[in-house]
Amino acid sequence: MRSWNDIPFDDLLAESRDGEWGKGEPEVGHTEAVVIRGTDFAGINDPEQNLPHRWIKDHLVKRKKLQSGDIVFEMAGGTSTQSTGRSALLKPSFFVRNAPFPAVCASFSRHLRLDQSRFCPEFIYYLLQTLHHSGYMDVFHIQHTGVARFQYSSFKKHTVLKIPPLPTQRKIAAILTAYDDLIETNKRRIALLEKMAEELYREWFVRMRFPGHQNTRFVKSVPEGWEMRKIEKAFDFTGGGTPSKNVPIYWNNGTVNWFTPSDITGAAGLFLSESETRCSEEGLARSSAKLFPPYSVMMTSRATIGAIGINTTPACTNQGFITCIPNERYPLPYLYQWLKLAKPYFDALSGGATFPELTKGTFKKLEIMTPAEEVMHEFTKLSTPIFKSMQIGLEQNENLTKTRDLLLPRLISGKLSVENLDIQFPPSMQEETPEPESAYAELHL
């Protein structure tokens, strides 16, 4: 720690400019550009993420064009003061994926370009993440016409950071980047598995090219031996409820997973091991919430229709769900895909004066395609390992994220020393620091 120096935030920067939103249609004197909003930060390096394209004045694109190693910094966000002050690091892969269009940050954001002869972008990004998660950024928030704004000038003026020499910065960044690279690799693999599972379902049950389809007779577009069955006679399903928030004993030290729609829409993946809020056994017993078994299919049915999560432990939900319980005739992979692809139909059936709602009364009268048992058995045999691999990948990411988050404050503060460690840099940092190629940052303790 003796070699770590106090550096005013402004001294980190070679350049910093605010963002542009531009126009939605082509116009003379404007360049088509990819624009990064605060809402895009979480998946900024995800190859599947689609970013908005806007037309920005030529001279502004020239001045504000982003480059690899830039940090995009959020200056305003929703109604929550917790949303401002976030940051995202732009890696080389981002520009390869979005070529040939230039990229700029949107209004209410700005880019931070570091003096890379003295500061490692990955290290500074993780340092900013630590400040955000610690609540430090809250000091510089103001509420303005219902939108949280970040006082960047004040932050820049009053923030002094303790920063080690550049080689130490790179070692710390390499350790943390290795975790993030593994997490991103898992995310891409999970997304590919999800596409495989959906394509198998579409091939067999939408295009009707299931095994033996060539020799199957169809009656009114339904294969012989299959049937359309009312949901109320096909599988069990349940709604949810909320134990009274005015009774502390229903919530204090709760152990029962109680899911809300935000648990589903904010989840990192399909399988969920725990909810944000847990109720007590007594709260569950004294409410209309119903406990259902693991590997049920929780589908949101109010306001947001058709968002899906699969619980891996016994759980219950609030009123905003219809939870479907698979059985031998309607196993999890089939039931999940049917619900997911039926979302447009559910949207059309949803009504309500205040917000859209798919009622249980409407849902139970719908019909579900019921394939022949041998076809369903074969589909389940092929798709179950795909779902299992998806769950394993998500669990690995949960563990990697927890470990990274435990290391982050200790590394970034210097409490965990790396100066004397032999660090092998992950591939994503190879361009910046030539080191022997490795998939991981290794700590030889």
Give the pLDDT confidence of 235-288 residue by residue, as tens digits: 999 999 999 999 999 999 999 999 999 999 999 899 999 999 999 999 999 999
> Which of 439, 430, 444 is closest to 181 using CA atoms?
439
% of the chain beyond a pLDDT of 90: 82
Query: Which one has a higher pLDDT value, 417 or 1?
Result: 417
Query: Which one has a higher pLDDT value, 352 or 206?
Result: 206
Provide the 8-state DSSP code for 418: -
Confidence (pLDDT) at 433: 42
- Rounded CA-CA distance 416/413 in Å is 8
Q: Confirm whether 5-163 and 228-370 share one CATH topology.
A: yes
Burial (CB count <10 Å: 0-12, 13-18, 19+), residue 4: middle
Confidence (pLDDT) at 145: 63
> Which of 34, 135, 42 is closest to 85 using CA atoms?
135
Q: Is-contact 279 240, C-beta < 8 A?
A: no
Confidence (pLDDT) at 118: 96
- Rounded CA-CA distance 256/313 in Å is 9
Q: How confident is the model at residue 45 (pLDDT cuts 50, 70, 90)?
A: confident
Confidence (pLDDT) at 147: 74
Mean pLDDT over residues 340-362, rounded? 93
> Which of 93, 19, 86 is closest to 52 using CA atoms?
19
Give the pLDDT confidence of 368-411 residue by residue, as tens digits: 999 999 999 999 999 999 999 999 999 999 999 999 999 999 99
The answer, yes or no, to whether residue 416 has pLDDT greater than 90, is yes
Confidence (pLDDT) at 210: 97
Confidence (pLDDT) at 1: 67
The answer, yes or no, to whether residue 6 has pLDDT greater than 70, is yes
pTM for this one? 0.87
Mean pLDDT over residues 136-157, rounded? 84
Q: Which helix (H) or strand (E) holds 439?
A: none
Count other Cβ atoms within 10 Å, centred on residue 238. 20
Q: How confident is the model at residue 445 (pLDDT cuts 50, 70, 90)?
A: very low
Mean pLDDT over residues 107-112, rounded? 94
Q: What sign does the CA torsion over 101, 103, 104, 105 have?
A: positive
Give the pLDDT confidence of 169-199 residue by residue, as tens digits: 999 999 999 999 999 999 999 999 999 999 9
Q: Which of 50-59, 84-93, 104-113, 170-179 has the lowest mean pLDDT?
A: 84-93
Confidence (pLDDT) at 79: 44
Q: Which helix (H) or strand (E) holds 11?
A: none
Q: Where are the domains of the chain?
A: 5-163, 168-226+373-445, 228-370
- Rounded CA-CA distance 269/193 in Å is 12
Mean pLDDT over residues 192-209, rounded? 97
Mean model confidence pLDDT for the chain: 92
- The CATH number of the domain covering residues in 5-163: 3.90.220.20
- Rounded CA-CA distance 188/194 in Å is 10
- Rounded CA-CA distance 52/32 in Å is 10
Q: How confident is the model at residue 146 (pLDDT cuts 50, 70, 90)?
A: low
Q: Which residues of 335-365 are buried (b: 16+ CB within 10 A; e: fewer)?
A: bbbbbbeeeeebeebbeeeeeebbeeeebee
Confidence (pLDDT) at 354: 85
- Rounded CA-CA distance 112/85 in Å is 12
Confidence (pLDDT) at 46: 79
Could you tell me which residues come within 8 angstroms of residue 208 by beta carbon, excluding any fewer than 6 positions away?
Answer: 218, 223
Q: How confident is the model at residue 143 (pLDDT cuts 50, 70, 90)?
A: low
The answer, yes or no, to whether residue 13 has pLDDT greater than 90, is yes
- List residues bridging with 71 in a β-sheet: 89, 112
- Rounded CA-CA distance 292/303 in Å is 23
- The CATH number of the domain covering residues in 168-226+373-445: 1.10.287
- The CATH number of the domain covering residues in 228-370: 3.90.220.20
